[in-house]
Amino acid sequence: MHPSIVALLPKLKRQADLGRHFFNVRFRDPQQGGYVHDTAVSVMIPPRACVFNVGTWTDTAGAVAGTYCVTKTGAANSPFVAIPLMPLQNSVALKGSYLKSIDVWWILGTAALTTLTATIRQNTAPANAAAYPASVTPAFTYDSNHLNNAARVTVAQHTMTLTVTTPFWLANTEQDILELTLVDPGTSVFNFYGARANYTLRM
């Protein structure tokens, strides 16, 4: 092959690649998308997206201007806070959201709680007229500042991170929840600021 033609081949290939890219973009199916595998995605969960079952819970301005929380009035009771985990879900295996950890924020005032414990629940959404099956409770570890109950119930500002032992994909047949169970001896004021789910997004 003539040397001048050989020298021209890379330029011709580049032009062909550009032309192919143009037509792929210009005439692609409207439903066609790219590929995402992002390992650092999070979604914030505001306090009022959660369920509070016992006691008096009130929308409150936070300790710092411009912050907001839901405050439980001190009373001898044992409420729970159910925090829905709301990353994108998918019906296809190994796609959607791969839950890795959850962060929770609260400030405890006046007096320590007796106990505060966390449980992650995977609930399978039932078919019409069927009963909910028992929850699956994936294992996790508390961060080093909240390893034991004594550390979790102190009068202080708390940022607790729960790391899922075996991260899992959120299927579209599940309702995934983080449950905080409190025991208030009578005067603990619990100010709940919300949570954050941290996951890998693949789509």
Residue pLDDT, tens place only, 93-144: 899 999 999 999 999 999 999 999 999 999 999 989 899 999 999 999 999 9
φ, ψ of residue 13 to 5 degrees: the values are: -65, -40
Give dist(CA 115, CA 97) in Å, integer. 31
Query: What is the pTM (predicted TM-score) of this model?
Result: 0.83
Average pLDDT over residues 68-78: 98
- Could you tell me if 200 and 101 are in contact, meaning their C-beta atoms sit under 8 angstroms apart? no
Residue type at 163? T
Domain boundaries, the chain: 34-202
Residue 173's contacts (CB-CB under 8 Å, 6 or more residues apart) are 91, 124, 125
pLDDT in tens, 169-203: 999 999 999 999 999 999 999 999 999 999 999 98
Topology adopted by domain 34-202? Jelly Rolls (2.60.120)
Average pLDDT over residues 160-172: 96
Residue position matching structure tokens 């959120």: 170
pLDDT in tens, 26-59: 555 554 556 889 999 999 999 999 999 999 999 9
Upper half-sphere CA count for residue 91 (Cβ side, 13 Å): 0
